[in-house]
Amino acid sequence: MATKISTALIVEDVRTDLMILTSYLESLGWRVITAMNGEEALTYLSNNKPDIVFLDVVLPGRSGFEICRTIKSQTETEKIPVVMCSTKNTDMDRFWGLKQGADLYLTKPVNRHDFMDVIQKLGN
């Protein structure tokens, strides 16, 4: 029987952060899809259902908070775990991210240990 390959969508406009998250996931055997803004992410999600979404807060156009709300308000995508990843690291930022429907909130730079905890909790 073939092993299922998990797919993650990373929505991130900073190349360095994108490369770090991608390398963490690929080292675990995940397939990674990337989007540079929320509109790209929503377009991808209209036809695909990844196993998890890593979503930056500060994005060109619509914020990650808005994108998270959209993901969690649609029947087709509401069950996909969303992890907010941001340099915004106050208690209010975390509270607001979780209030928008995020399953977890990580601050950048995301360290490998915290990332692995997220995969253990939410990944397949």
- What tens digit of pLDDT does each residue of 71-88 get? 999 999 999 999 999 888
- Structure confidence by residue, pLDDT tens digits, 3-20: 567 999 999 999 999 999
The Cα angle at residue 63 between residues 60 and 67, in degrees rounded to 5? 115
**Considering the domain 7-122 in this protein, what is its CATH number?**
3.40.50.2300
* 69 or 90, greater pLDDT: 69
CA-CA distance, 89 to 46, in Å (whole number)? 30
Write out pLDDT tens, residues 19-38. Answer: 999 999 999 999 999 999 99
Q: How do the domains of the chain map onto residue ranges?
A: 7-122
Does residue 101 carry a pLDDT above 70? yes
